[in-house]
């Protein structure tokens, strides 16, 4: 697993902290019952029972860029930073829609976000790493901040990805369909501000990732051939099996690298695919590691569905706003994505991050 | 401990011309062989190509390439090593972006070897009837070594969007999704001007002038870009590269230029400027010291 060197190493002398988070949630809600009523075929699938997803948000007025820009502005406002402070801006979404479903490959979404928010001096580029994109961006930002290359980095993602569900609703015939997972998707924007930690601030203890590429073809998405937008083929059960088998091994490696035990973690925020998969996965991790984090895993998939690369940020904002993340709490963000990408960002909430929720309250 | 470029490979067309994934994979294997490394030695694999097979959006193409070349593809196990793969996108500046990301992890001591690949090809399925770029794949192996020299620094900038700039979009035309690439007149010149500014700034940071450079590798290899870049650096046009006729390489173009200027990456104690400019406009430069 690729991880950062331990704090104090002269090659990466600084510590980075999560300085702010922000999100955009489109106001329009689509219930699972409504979505399943829209399927072309009579599927007899109880998707809500299978996944725990009651509803998701769908963007009717925002595209991917608008969702990312909204989240970036929310993040800056909550953290009290100006766009001019941002020296690195990375956009990490799978979807790059502007003007409806026009997918932009060039110029980058990051440059467009920087322009919209006024981050004129930021280095900009896009990262693509499926649903692990945002945490991959945090990994890179952590590296740049720790080495002193930048002091302030903004990682953004806007996912207008519910169009895959619209397309899947025309094709899913049964529970065995490889497009079933597309029906879990929802729209959201997310942004994370990573900056150099102040003296004594705990910050990010570990960011680590690996790619189990033997399973790289379990989930593939590309523009649809005869429909607007894209389609995705997922072998969800196979992915779940690999995740159950590999995550404990890698989590143990990550915790060892950070000098932590699983009991030192207060909150786990996994990638949000299905409530049932999250709870099963956590039971397996607990059994394999012989201990559990202090709190049950955070679940937001019931309200927002799988918002792809923004799930962790959507959940972080939810937990901060609800007052469930307090200064001193240690949080483990767990990425699981097509590739197969497995990664972790473990950090401690500091008083300044806890106060981020006060902006909206 | 600075990062160093250990090997380079460029694969143009041939029987892999219809697949960006295969072009990158073949280039990656060649570059690793030249560096005397096994695929399992790769800690980080960054793909900077844009025009993938079917314009695949997920997973990262880098993950497929990792599996293709056999770089630690298996499930994690005690004593295992692991490879982390993902894609970056920054148009013609993609390869320098990947190099900068890799350099960060190399300098921090997080990894020993990185593989930066870039490739583009017609995505097929009738999506791009007039695909404007040559099918080219490239790979750079990077490592680190004690002492001085190697990659000394980077500089990137995003310019004002007011002028002409290339675009690439995928949209549904009523029958199917089509890729449209535009390269408006004046776009290469605008990118060249920004690239010249970025390169001059980077050289100044290191108390160097363009006259101190032994070798310049630039992308894109178009007359419009290279002419303005040379002008801004105050160098004769033939010092920054030879413009190509026909369909140019895109994200792999920097490796094409570097391979041509220094075959086999034998830099021989020379001071090298790598510089790119593209859509946005965005420009990027890296300085390699002896």
- Which token pair is B192? 């060249």
Chain B nearest-CA distance from A322, in A, is 33
Question: In this predicted structure, what is the pLDDT of residue B148?
Answer: 76
Residue A232: its chain B contacts at CB < 8 A?
58
Question: In this predicted structure, what is the pLDDT of residue B77?
Answer: 79
Minimum-distance CB partner of B84 among A2, A126, A249: A2
Average pLDDT, chain A: 95
Minimum-distance CB partner of A2 among B91, B93, B105: B105
Question: In this predicted structure, what is the pLDDT of residue A307?
Answer: 98
CB contact under 8 A, A106 and B62: no
The more confidently predicted of residues B79 and B111 is B111
CA distance B275 to B209: 15
Question: In this predicted structure, what is the pLDDT of residue A361?
Answer: 40
**Residue whose C-alpha is closest to residue A57's, from A128, A145, A133, A162:** A162
Question: In this predicted structure, what is the pLDDT of residue A200?
Answer: 84
Mean pLDDT in residue range B144-172: 91
Residue A250: its chain B contacts at CB < 8 A?
76
Residue A360 has pLDDT above 50, yes or no: no
Determine the residue of chain A that is closest to B101 in CA distance: A140
CB contact under 8 A, B169 and A103: yes
Please report which confidence band the pLDDT of residue A359 belongs to, taking 50, 70 and 90 as the band edges.
low
Q: State ipTM.
A: 0.97
Residue B167: its chain A contacts at CB < 8 A?
104, 106-107
CB contact under 8 A, A105 and B170: yes
Tens of pLDDT, residue by residue over A189-210, are 999 999 999 888 899 999 999 9
Tens of pLDDT, residue by residue over B247-269, are 999 999 999 999 999 988 887 78
Mean pLDDT in residue range B80-107: 96
Phi-psi sector, A52: left (phi>0), alpha (psi -120 to 50), beta: left
Task: Name the maximum alpha-carbon separation found in chain B.
Answer: 59
Determine the residue of chain B that is closest to A225 in CA distance: B176
CB contact under 8 A, A211 and B278: no
- Which token pair is B224? 């419009």
Tens of pLDDT, residue by residue over A209-224, are 999 999 999 999 999 9
Q: In terms of C-beta density within 10 A (0-12 exposed, 13-18 middle, 19 or more buried), how is residue A78 classed?
A: buried
Query: Which of A213, A244, A258, A288 to probe the B interface (max B CBs under 10 A)?
Result: A213
């Amino acid at each position: 697993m690729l991880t950062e060197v331990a704090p104090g190493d002269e090659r990466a002398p600084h510590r980075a902290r999560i300085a702010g988070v922000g999100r955009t949630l489109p106001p329009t809600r689509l219930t699972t019952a409504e979505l399943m009523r829209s399927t072309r075929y009579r599927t007899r699938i109880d998707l809500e029972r299978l996944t725990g997803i009651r509803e998701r948000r769908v963007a009717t007025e925002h595209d991917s860029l608008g969702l990312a820009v909204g989240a970036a502005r929310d993040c800056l406002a909550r953290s009290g930073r100006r766009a001019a402070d941002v020296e690195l801006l990375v956009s990490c979404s799978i979807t790059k829609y502007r003007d409806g479903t026009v997918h932009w490959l060039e110029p980058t979404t990051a440059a467009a976000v920087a322009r919209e928010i006024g981050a004129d001096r930021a280095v900009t580029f896009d990262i693509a790493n499926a649903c692990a994109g945002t945490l991959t961006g945090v990994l890179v930002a952590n590296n740049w901040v720790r080495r002193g290359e930048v002091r302030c980095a903004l990682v953004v993602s806007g996912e207008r990805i519910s169009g895959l569900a619209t397309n899947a609703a025309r094709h899913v015939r049964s529970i065995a369909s490889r497009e079933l997972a597309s029906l879990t998707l929802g729209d959201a924007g997310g942004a994370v501000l990573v900056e150099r930690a102040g003296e004594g601030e705990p910050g990010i203890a570990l960011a680590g990732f690996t790619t189990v590429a033997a399973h790289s073809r379990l989930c593939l998405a590309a523009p649809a051939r005869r429909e607007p937008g894209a389609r995705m083929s997922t072998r969800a059960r196979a992915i779940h099996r690999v995740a159950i088998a590999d995550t404990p091994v890698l989590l143990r490696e990550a915790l060892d690298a950070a000098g932590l035990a699983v009991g030192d973690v207060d909150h786990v925020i996994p990638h949000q695919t299905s409530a049932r998969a999250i709870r099963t996965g956590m039971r397996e991790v607990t059994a394999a590691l012989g201990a559990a984090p202090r709190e049950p895993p955070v679940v937001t998939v019931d309200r927002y569905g799988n918002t792809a690369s923004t799930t962790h940020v959507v959940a972080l904002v939810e937990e901060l706003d609800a007052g469930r993340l307090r200064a001193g709490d240690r949080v483990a963000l767990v990425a699981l994505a097509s590739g197969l990408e497995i990664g972790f960002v473990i950090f401690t909430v500091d008083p300044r991050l806890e106060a981020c929720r006060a902006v909206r309250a | 401990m600075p990062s160093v470029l250990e090997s380079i490979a460029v694969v143009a067309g041939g029987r892999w011309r219809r697949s960006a994934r295969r072009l990158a994979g073949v280039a990656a294997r060649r570059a690793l062989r030249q560096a005397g490394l096994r695929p399992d030695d790769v800690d980080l694999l960054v793909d900077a190509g844009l025009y993938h097979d079917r314009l695949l959006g997920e997973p990262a193409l880098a993950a497929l390439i990792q599996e293709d070349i056999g770089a630690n593809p298996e499930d994690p196990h005690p004593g295992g090593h692991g490879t982390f793969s993902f894609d970056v996108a920054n148009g013609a500046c993609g390869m320098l972006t990947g190099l900068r990301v890799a350099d960060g992890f190399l300098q921090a001591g997080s990894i020993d070897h990185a593989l930066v690949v870039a490739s583009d090809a017609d995505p097929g399925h009738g999506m791009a009837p007039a695909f404007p770029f040559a099918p080219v794949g490239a790979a750079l192996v990077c490592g680190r070594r004690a002492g001085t020299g190697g990659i000394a620094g980077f500089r990137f900038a995003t310019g004002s969007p007011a002028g002409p700039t290339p675009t690439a979009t995928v949209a549904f035309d009523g029958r199917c999704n089509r890729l449209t690439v535009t390269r408006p007149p004046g776009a290469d010149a605008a990118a060249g001007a920004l690239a010249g500014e970025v390169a001059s700034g980077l050289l100044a940071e290191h108390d160097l002038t363009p006259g101190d450079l032994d070798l310049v590798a630039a992308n894109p290899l178009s007359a419009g870009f290279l002419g303005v870049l040379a002008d801004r650096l105050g160098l004769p046009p033939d010092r920054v590269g030879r413009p190509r006729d026909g369909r140019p390489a895109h994200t792999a173009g920097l490796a094409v230029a570097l391979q041509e200027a220094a075959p086999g990456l034998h830099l021989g104690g020379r001071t090298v400027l790598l510089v790119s400019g593209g859509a946005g406009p965005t420009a990027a430069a890296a300085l390699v010291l002896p």
